[in-house]
Amino acid sequence: MTQFTENNGALFVDNLSVAELAKAYGTPLYIYSQTAITQAFNEFKNALGDFPSLICYAVKANSNLSILKVLADLGSGFDIVSLGELERVLKAGGDPAKIVFSGVGKSVQEMKRALEVGVACFNVESEAELERLSDVAVGEGKTAKISLRVNPDVDAKTHPYISTGLKENKFGIEFNRAIDVYLKAKALPGIEIVGIDCHIGSQLTQATPFLDATDRILVLVEQLKNHGIVLKHIDLGGGLGVTYKDETPPAVADYLSPILAKLKDLKVSLMLEPGRAIVANAGILVTKVEYLKPTTEKNFAIVDAAMNDNIRPSLYQAWQEIRPVQSSNATPDIWDIVGPVCETGDFLAKGRTLAIAAGDYLAMFGAGAYCFSMSSNYNSRPRACELLVDGDTSRVIRQRESFDDLIRGELVGNA
């Protein structure tokens, strides 16, 4: 169920008017619904039922501290890929024993800190990383719990930039090498094998690639048993897609129930690393139309949000719905929605039929995942304010950046 509803042509988030929030806090403005996040998390929880499992929310999707706190309070674990994400989770009250540490390039410093706080598992992506981790753990007088991220060579059928489970991708350990690398891990002094892991891509809209990947992983689980390596968990990563336009991803329960059926006779727990499916449709980006610029070729609506606020359209040709926050009597026309950044690639949407006028607020939907978290200060633009709405109340969860924030850490000359 969506928390973004229309009432007499006005957009509401939970019980609050988006136009009023935009007036009060300015634009560009990210608004998230706590209710929507909670509902999405609970969909996973309910689908998993009594099956021994841990949902590790992928922090990269939206790493705001308040959002991490909402999820930590719901009992979520976390999938992290950097020291920064680790410290964010700890600051938000996340339980280190529910953290899995993914990523192809973990540094010594990152390993040390993760060992110190006691993360649940390192998802190891290469033999070189495995050796380094063992050395670091021995040096720290600890043992690192690991799973190997195996590349199952399954086509996720998604955008090439966010497809990760093919042989040609940089992620994971080659399927055919996996057993040998496990045997090597078994012999290393600083390593304790606890699981196996894969993540085949993001924004998957079909269940089949997940099932194919599960089958591939289960082949390895069986072979490992024959080598005396018994795993405690299987981590199938994240990747479940959402509806931005007309995609029809499986419901959480429909994607998980055949997976649970495959696992039910094995004595393993299931870990998942969903990001987008928890937060994408819990957020909007609100922007104001600065100018309308009709030309002989095209009509441009120049808005105050730009590619630095949401790079997904420029980077992945991503389509996210845009609607006026308040419907009006303006004559509908076809618009490219573009930002103030000095790049032709700076657009939020192209060829949208909208009835808009200068000064109107527009809402960009599906903006809870990979939008603010991928934002930048390009063109020296301060990053937007973020708000969290819960029923009748809203609170700022990140202040709009100031000029001082923009130049923090920079020096003028030698002074």
Which one, 200 or 302, has the nearer CB to ligand LLP? 200
- The answer, yes or no, to whether the previous bond of 28 is cis (omega within 30 of 0) is yes
| Member of 34, 147, 202, 375 binding ligand LLP (CB under 6 A) | 202
> Per CB under 6 A, does 126 bind ligand LLP?
no
The residue behind tokens 């981790």 is: 133
DSSP secondary structure, 174-225, as one string: EGGGHHHHHHHHHH-TTEEEEEEE---BSSB--SHHHHHHHHHHHHHHHHHH
Backbone phi, psi, residue 377, to 5°? -105, 20
> Per CB under 6 A, does 122 bind ligand LLP?
no
> Per CB under 6 A, does 63 bind ligand LLP?
no
Bridge partners of residue 288, in order along the sequence: 361
What character string, x for contact with ligand LLP (CB under 6 A) and - otherwise, covers 244-273? Answer: -----------------------------x
Q: Nearest approach, Cβ of 239 to ligand LLP (angstroms)?
A: 4
Looking only at Cα atoms, what is the longest distance across the chain?
Answer: 72
Distance CA 333, CA 339 (A): 18
| Member of 55, 148, 178, 277 binding ligand LLP (CB under 6 A) | 277
Q: Nearest approach, Cβ of 80 to ligand LLP (angstroms)?
A: 10
Q: Does the annotation mark 121 as catalytic?
A: no
DSSP secondary structure, 279-302, as one string: HGGGEEEEEEEEEEEE-SS-EEEE
DSSP letter at 240 equals: B
What character string, x for contact with ligand LLP (CB under 6 A) and - otherwise, covers 180-199? Answer: -------------------x
| Member of 10, 65, 74, 162 binding ligand LLP (CB under 6 A) | 162
> Per CB under 6 A, does 237 bind ligand LLP?
yes
Part of the chain binding ligand LLP (CB under 6 A), chosen from 172-180, 236-244, 289-297, 391-399: 236-244
| Member of 165, 190, 239, 366 binding ligand LLP (CB under 6 A) | 239
**What Cα–Cα distance (Å) separates residue 125 from each residue in 6, 173, 196, 265, 308?**
46, 6, 11, 28, 30
Tokens representing 219 are 């082949």
* Sites of contact with ligand LLP (CB under 6 A): 58, 61, 79, 102, 162, 199, 202-203, 237-240, 273-277, 312, 316, 370, 374
Residues acting as catalytic residues: 342
